[in-house]
Amino acid sequence: MTYLLVGNYGVGNLGDEALREYFLRRFPQVQWRVVSAHPRREELPRLPGGVRSLFSLRWLRTLGALRKSDGMVLGGGSLFTDTESVRACFLWWVHVLSARVLRKRIILAYQGIGPFRTRMGEWFARAAVRSAHFISVRDPLSAVRVRTWGCRADVLETFDPVLLLVEEQKIDLSAQKILVVIPRNNSDAFLREHLSRLLQSGRFEHVSILSLKPDDSAESAYCQSLRASLRTPGTIVPVRTLHDLVSSVARGSLVLTQRYHGAIVALALGLELDVIPQTEGDKLDALRALISETPAHGRRQRLWQKVEAGERALKEVL
């Protein structure tokens, strides 16, 4: 069987690349054709989301591959949200619409849906989700949103599948007096305030600042500014792969993060975790709520079981 694997791949986002790795590794029975913003080797370019990409005509190869395939899998991530731009919702709707026109199976797997700032963004998301033959979402807030949309398929609540990849790593989990901080390039004062309170506790002798986009000038500047503001010794650690992230997170005893997959890795390793959302109802807010509602004892096992249930259901429909 052949499926197009569609996601926010090829833009240098560690979490999205980890999701891509998950599908390629855990579903070897599928012949995947990966759709990427910057395609490599046998990958395919995205379908057009604007005038420039439309006139490039590179997308015709992707349309041809879709026509010969069994369907399309939108694989993980927060594809349908307009917190940064409504264009994202439009772009992924274009992909779903193309599959629908060609009468191909549409599978939404491990999706984070919402939040939405605009009616247009929500309309694109709703139209795409209602076209799907299979839907699994990675958090309770997404499940609540989607279940009110009158979908043709049942909505399965699961969890982020990167959790399974982390479990396969052989990492030294010995705790040290190191506080791991994972900021974004646009992290606000709330993260700094929270960090300051943690350091005042006297628990930590060192701060490890992980930069998941080390080649981004804005993130580099933020990390340097954050380190300069510390009275506690600190280092900036560039992180480019999931293995780097797991290794770096495992050296700490507490993780303060404003990046989603930094939190997923901390959960997988069983570390103490503090999540800082960016906006109400976003993926970090949903994750924080899930953590607060789930007892610490056995949490990792219960989340693992959620992912495995989602994986079994997905294998049945592929």
Is omega for the bond preceding 115 within 30 degrees of 0, making it cis?
A: yes
What are the boundaries of each domain within the chain? 2-157+305-317, 166-276
Fold of domain 166-276: Rossmann fold (3.40.50)
pTM: 0.93
Nearest-angstrom CA–CA distance, 266 and 273: 7
Residue 88 sits at the vertex; the CA angle it makes with 240 and 95, to the nearest 5 degrees, is: 100
Non-local CB neighbours of 174 within 8 Å, separated by 6+ positions: none
Q: Which helix (H) or strand (E) holds 77?
A: strand 71-80
Fold of domain 2-157+305-317: Rossmann fold (3.40.50)
pLDDT by residue for the chain (318 residues), tens only, comes to 999 999 999 999 999 999 999 999 999 999 999 999 999 989 999 999 988 888 889 999 999 999 999 999 999 999 999 998 999 999 999 999 999 999 999 999 999 999 999 999 999 999 999 999 999 999 999 999 999 999 999 999 999 999 999 964 455 545 579 999 999 999 988 999 999 999 999 999 999 999 999 999 999 999 999 999 999 999 999 999 999 999 999 999 999 999 999 999 999 998 999 999 988 889 999 999 988 888 888 888 999 999 999 999 999 999
Nearest-angstrom CA–CA distance, 36 and 45: 5
Nearest-angstrom CA–CA distance, 75 and 98: 16
Assign 3-class secondary structure to 178-247: EEEEECCCCCCHHHHHHHHHHHHCCCCCEEEEEECCCCCHHHHHHHHHHHHCCCCCEEEEECCCHHHHHH
